[in-house]
Chain A
Amino acid sequence: MKRSGASRFFYNNSQLLIPLIAILLLTVFNLIRDPGFFSVGIAANNNGDPVLQGNLISILNGASELVILSMGMTLVTAAAGGQDISVGALAAIGGSVFVKVLKGGSINGLLVLAAFLACCAAAMVFGALNGSLVSFFGIQPMIATLILFTCGRSIAYWINGGATPTVASPILNAIGSFIPGIPVPTPILIVIAAGILFALLFRFTALGLYIQTVGINQGAARLNGISAKGIKLLSFILLGACCAVAGVIGVSRLGLINHETLLINIEMDAILAVAIGGNNLGGGRFKMIGSVLGAYAIQALTITLYAMKVPSTDVKAYKAVVIIILVIMGSPVVKDAAGRLWKRLFGTRRTGTAGKEAA
């Protein structure tokens, strides 16, 4: 009585249903509202290069920082069973370090690389700080990261002596918008690269298994030789690296660092992306692709609301409503009810109680 490959595939990936439905609904809604909403065109940018344009591109492009942060947030959530609320502040610190190094000389490729590495190092050190509080002192992730959440932007402010310096260079343009000759916005390419890096990481190490084991049963992980503390720490360091990349994208888009506004409030969206992606916020099993889809759904929602000319002050309220609906749709109660309904309609067997113990 083995299940067929296809049905097992759907069963294993059922958590992706909610973000996919969200994206589908937004797509349909927009197409009805404006059939040309997703049309992608080619236009010349300021430099006269032909580049892709359209709402679809701005959704994919605009979501880049959020997607990268939600990848890291997925790992922290899975391993530590809690969320990091300091990612925005951490990105601001990273961005400030990036600019600080760039200000140290005339900008060339080598200097940008050095600046990027310094930015990564700084963000990873602060990530490690968060991680140590969580793993060695046993502090709840949200409380531990509250510290950096509160003071991170002040640290960013000190790094550049209180100023919001601008940096201009074709190299930064290439990072923040387009590489000459390539019509796809660079942040989208960076997201793809990050995705590939994570895919390789999971393919060529057993990190995924370790993280899930720690998140599900820390005591048993230890008895099987896994250092739960080390894994949690590692997940925070990886998130730190994600913050650095997001910070660099953010700075390069604007050509300046504004420590107060860079990626402000993004931590909440990143946590939401993880939740909408069907991942358990209490830790354990995870699917990074779910968080990525969740992040794109959130960005699509934002762009849709702006396209509908909703005043920017109201956008948050509308967003909240949609998000409540999505989160309720993904709740066990609704899933169970849907399972029963499905069974009544089609009479096929389906597990509605997969969460219950059978010992």
Chain B
Amino acid sequence: MQEDIVLTMRGICKYFPGVTALNRVDFTLRRGEIHALMGENGAGKSTLIKVLTGVYPMDAGEIRVDGIENPIVIHSPQEAAGFGISTVYQEITLCPNLTVAENMFIGRSPKKSVNWKSMEKRAGEILENLGIPARPKQQLGRCSIAVQQMVAIARAVDTDCKVLILDEPTSSLDDREVEMLFGLMRELKARGVGIIFVTHFLEQVYAVSDRITVLRNGELVGEYEVEKLPQVALVEKMIGKDLEDLSSIQKSEVQAASETGDLYEAKGLSSSEAEAFDFHIAKGEVNGFTGLLGSGRSESVRAIFGADPVTGGAIRVNGKAVKITKPLDAMKNGIGYLPEDRKRDGIIADLSVRDNIILALQVIKGMRHPLSRAQAEAFADEYIKALSIKTASPDTPIRSLSGGNQQKVILARWLLTHPQYLILDEPTRGIDVGTKTEIQKLVLKLSEEGMGITFISSEIEEMLRTCSRLIVMRDRHIAGELTGEELSQEQVMRTIAGGGE
């Protein structure tokens, strides 16, 4: 094995019933490099990582790590850690009600008796060493998501770690937090750790990576040095064709609300999680809530849908006063809601893709009016095709789909109900670049057909491209509303920061 190479994977194959997830994929990781693993939804990125960490057995291929003569076989994540391969998954898998130090050491202290004092001391050292802004005795749940993410990384690299894997670590972080995480990644890189970085954010790849490996449909497209692969070429390698120009997306001009009347209007709406606010949306309008994480943007749209217990407010739908206190009320009034946390609030993991698609429509029709098998099949097929959802069959349980494809299924679920007002909280999270554009175009198309859409995204650009009105939240209050000329990155940032004028 070459001197500076810490990991090689050769001819890796992995088959699932009906799917070839990996077909003779090669992958090489060098010491002290950040190596981006890129590809469309369902390309096989997560599967490659799960093979490497022993979550799935591979069907063919060979894995070698630095310092060991023969190819190794990895049966479990624990074994992988023994070989110096650690992983931080996208969903944080730590315990929020334990302290930072406890989270860093629990379940892997090799010594029989645990000395908490020395453990806390050691944790303190590691945190300081890596420049992570957390105290050992702090309760983990009190830290921001980014810091929790960093604690998870600290936990992973504390052991003699040669390879660190980060699967979509940044998808729920804001820009500042992403920078913090990158600082940590560079620090580890300087220490000679090889880092595998999976993400759908192209800018981030160019910000930190040294090398890029691209997968498409379970096959290796190639390995490139970052400098030699411009963004356009990368996208082309990922999706196998040119990406349509984003500037082709044209916002439709919204008719003034006074002409069409408000589709939805709330006065003094509040819930257990959101403080009272006023809000309205017109037919065919696309607006958005923006603000830092924790600013109350998700809580506000949840209040609109009745997802959290509603505590007050007057609501009108199409000018008629209605009561919306629970999701079913909202659905009956033609409102749909794609939740932020797909895994917790969206997917019904063990049910088939088909059942997941028809669920909301079925509920609106009512328990006593089941969709026939043929209808359900037709609807599922239609949307699997329309959103090009990658699945072995409509019968496949949704949990075996790739992250991005699960997201598309939930989107399909709400589109199938043909809502008049659709709330999308981070609809493009974990979605690949090609599909992201598709979804933005879809949003604009639906709005042209008269649907009102409220859109939330951590990516401000994405919102600027689609929304004609932005509601900026700060500290759980509406800090300002931007329309027309005011819709610019700087103006949004300024309003978020608090200097509205």
Residues on A lying within 8 angstroms of B by beta carbon are 1-3, 8, 11-12, 203-207, 209-210, 212-213, 216-217, 219-227, 284-285, 349-354, 356-359
A138 to B369, CA, bound (A): 29
A238 to B402, CA, bound (A): 38
| Binary CB contact string for chain B from 318 to 346 against chain A (1 if under 8 A, 0 otherwise) | 00000000111001000001010001111
Q: Select one of A8, A12, A206, A349 contacting B362, CB under 8 A.
A: A206
Cβ-defined contact, A225 with B401, below 8 A: no
Residues on B lying within 8 angstroms of A by beta carbon are 15-20, 46-47, 50, 55-57, 59, 90-91, 305, 307, 326-328, 331, 337, 339, 343-351, 355, 359-360, 362-371, 392-393, 395, 397, 399-403, 406, 413
Cβ-defined contact, A224 with B327, below 8 A: yes
Beyond A11-B17, A350-B17, whether A217 also contacts B347 by CB under 8 A is: yes
Cβ-defined contact, A205 with B370, below 8 A: yes
A358 to B42, CA, bound (A): 10
Cβ-defined contact, B327 with A3, below 8 A: no
CB of A19 to closest CB in B, whole Å: 20
CB of B18 to closest CB in A, whole Å: 5
Q: Which residue of A lies closest to B355 (CB)?
A: A209
Task: Kindly list the 10 A-B residue pairs having the minimum CB-CB distance in the complex, ordered from nearest.
Answer: A225-B328, A206-B370, A225-B363, A359-B403, A225-B331, A225-B327, A349-B15, A216-B348, A206-B367, A358-B400
Cβ-defined contact, B47 with A358, below 8 A: yes
Q: Which residue of B lies closest to A230 (CB)?
A: B367
A352 to B59, CA, bound (A): 12
Most buried by A among B57, B307, B345, B359: B359
CB of B363 to closest CB in A, whole Å: 4
CB pairs A–B below 8 angstroms (21 shown) = A3-B18, A205-B370, A206-B368, A206-B369, A209-B351, A216-B350, A219-B344, A220-B339, A222-B307, A223-B307, A223-B337, A225-B328, A225-B331, A226-B328, A226-B363, A285-B350, A350-B17, A352-B57, A358-B399, A358-B400, A359-B399
Q: Which residues of A contact B393 (CB under 8 A)?
A: 2-3, 8
Majority secondary structure, A binding face: loop
19 extra A-B contacts, CB within 8 A, seeds A206-B370, A359-B403: A2-B18, A12-B395, A204-B370, A205-B367, A213-B351, A217-B347, A217-B348, A219-B345, A220-B344, A223-B307, A223-B339, A227-B328, A349-B59, A353-B56, A354-B400, A356-B56, A358-B50, A359-B343, A359-B402
Q: Which residue of B lies closest to A217 (CB)?
A: B348
Cβ-defined contact, B395 with A8, below 8 A: yes
Q: Which residues of B contact A205 (CB under 8 A)?
A: 367-368, 370
Q: Select one of B17, B365, B369 contacting A3, CB under 8 A.
A: B17
Most buried by A among B57, B90, B363, B406: B363
Q: Which residues of B contact A11 (CB under 8 A)?
A: 17
CB of B364 to closest CB in A, whole Å: 7
Q: Which residues of A contact B305 (CB under 8 A)?
A: 223
A302 to B300, CA, bound (A): 60
Cβ-defined contact, A220 with B348, below 8 A: yes
Beyond A227-B328, A358-B402, A359-B406, whether A207 also contacts B367 by CB under 8 A is: yes
Q: Which residues of A contact B364 (CB under 8 A)?
A: 225
Q: Which residues of A contact B17 (CB under 8 A)?
A: 3, 11, 349-351
